[in-house]
C-alpha cells in the first residue's frame, strides 16, 4: 500500500530557514513517532519521502549556492507532501491531523489537507512522457570496486540509471518485482528533448550537486509487453517516491506526465 498525505502549514512570524526547505518538512513530520523511527534508521531506500516546502502556486522553495538567505513569510499558506509505505505512520497522521509545532524561531500551525491510499499508482499509456525534475536529482552510476571517497552523481537522467534508481526502491517494497536491463532501458526509453541545468545545494553544511529541469522520453516498447508495463509502473511510482539518492529528504522529486502529441 502507498499512503500519500499533503500537509498545509502557516507560520506565526517570518522565519529564516535553511536553503533546502525539506528541513522544515522534516521538523513538522517529526511530530509522528513512526517517522522519527524510520528516519533515524540506517536502512537505505527508506519507505518514506517528504518534499520541500511549496507555495500556493506549487513552486518548490529552495535556494542554490550563491543566493541570499531564504525566508518564509508569516500568515502565508505553504504546503508539502509526505509519501509513506508504512501503515503505522499513516494511522498516526490521520489520528492527529491538526497541531502546532515550533520551527526555528517561530511556531507553525499544521493541518492535513488531503490524503490518498492506493495499492499501486498508475499512469496513462502513451508514446511519450515528460519528466519534470522539481528538486535537485542525484542519480548515481554503479559503484566501482576500487576504493573511492566521494559520491558520483550524473547531471543527465540517462534512462538506464534513471529507471534502475526507481526499480531498486520498487523491488524492495513491492511484492511483484520489476526487472529491466540497462540495454533494454537504453533502447526502448529514449530521451528526445530536454532543458536541464546543474545546481548546487547546501545541505547539512555539505555541497550537493544535481540537476533540475525537464526531459522528454519516448517509450518504444511493444504494447502490452512486460517491458512497457514495467516502465510505466516505475514512472507512476516515481511521482510518489522520487528518483535517485536522498529522495527520502526531498531530493529527486519528479512529476511524470504522459504526452499525447
DSSP letter for each residue of the chain: -EEEEEEEEEESS-EEE-SBTHHHHHHHHTTSHHHHHHHT---SS-SEEEPPPB-TT--B-B--TT---EEE-BT--EEEEEEES-HHHHHHHHH--EEEEEETTEEEEEEEEEEEEESS------SEEEEEEEEEE-B-PPPPSS---S---BSS--HHHHHHHHHHHHHHH-SS-----HHHHHHHEEEEEEEEEEEEEEETTEEEEEEEEEEEEEE-SPTT-HHHHHHHHHHHHHHHH-SSTTGGGTTT-EEEEEE--
pLDDT at residue 148, rounded to an integer:
65
pLDDT in tens, 207-257: 899 999 999 999 999 988 999 999 999 999 999 999 999 999 999 999 999
pLDDT at residue 211, rounded to an integer:
97
pLDDT at residue 66, rounded to an integer:
67
pLDDT at residue 232, rounded to an integer:
96
Q: What is the pTM of this model?
A: 0.93
pLDDT per residue, tens digit, the chain (261 aa), is 899 999 999 999 999 999 999 999 999 999 999 999 999 988 889 999 999 999 988 899 998 876 778 899 999 999 999 999 999 999 999 999 999 999 998 999 999 999 999 988 999 999 999 999 999 999 988 777 767 667 789 999 999 999 999 999 999 999 899 999 889 999 999 999 999 999 999 888 888 999 999 999 999 999 889 999 999 999 999 999 999 999 999 999 999 999 987
Amino acid at each position: 500500500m502507498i499512503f500519500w498525505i499533503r500537509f498545509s502549514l502557516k507560520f506565526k512570524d517570518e522565519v529564516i530557514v535553511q536553503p533546502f526547505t525539506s528541513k522544515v518538512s522534516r521538523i513538522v513530520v517529526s511530530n509522528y513517532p513512526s517517522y522519527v523511527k524510520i528516519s533515524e534508521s540506517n536502512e537505505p531506500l527508506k519507505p518514506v519521502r517528504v518534499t520541500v516546502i511549496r507555495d500556493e502556486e506549487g513552486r518548490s522553495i529552495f535556494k542554490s549556492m550563491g543566493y541570499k538567505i531564504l525566508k518564509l513569510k508569516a500568515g502565508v499558506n505553504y504546503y508539502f507532501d509526505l509519501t509513506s509505505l508504512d501503515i503505522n505512520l499513516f494511522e498516526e497522521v490521520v489520528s492527529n491531523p491538526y497541531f502546532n509545532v515550533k520551527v526555528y524561531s517561530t511556531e507553525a500551525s499544521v493541518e492535513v489537507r488531503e490524503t490518498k491510499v492506493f495499492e499501486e499508482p498508475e499512469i496513462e499509456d502513451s508514446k511519450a512522457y515528460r519528466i519534470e525534475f522539481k528538486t535537485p536529482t542525484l542519480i548515481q552510476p554503479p559503484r566501482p570496486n576500487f576504493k573511492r571517497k566521494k559520491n558520483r552523481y550524473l547531471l543527465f537522467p540517462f534512462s538506464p540509471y534513471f529507471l534502475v534508481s526507481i526499480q531498486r526502491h520498487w523491488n524492495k517494497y513491492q511484492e511483484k518485482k520489476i526487472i529491466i536491463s540497462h540495454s533494454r532501458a537504453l533502447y526502448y526509453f529514449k530521451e528526445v528533448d530536454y532543458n536541464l541545468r546543474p545546481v548546487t545545494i547546501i545541505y547539512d553544511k555539505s555541497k550537493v550537486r544535481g540537476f533540475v529541469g525537464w526531459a522528454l522520453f519516448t517509450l518504444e516498447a511493444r504494447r502490452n509487453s512486460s517491458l512497457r508495463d514495467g516502465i510505466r509502473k516505475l514512472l507512476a511510482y516515481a511521482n510518489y517516491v522520487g528518483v535517485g539518492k536522498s529522495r527520502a529528504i526531498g531530493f529527486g522529486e519528479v512529476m511524470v506526465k504522459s504526452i499525447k502529441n
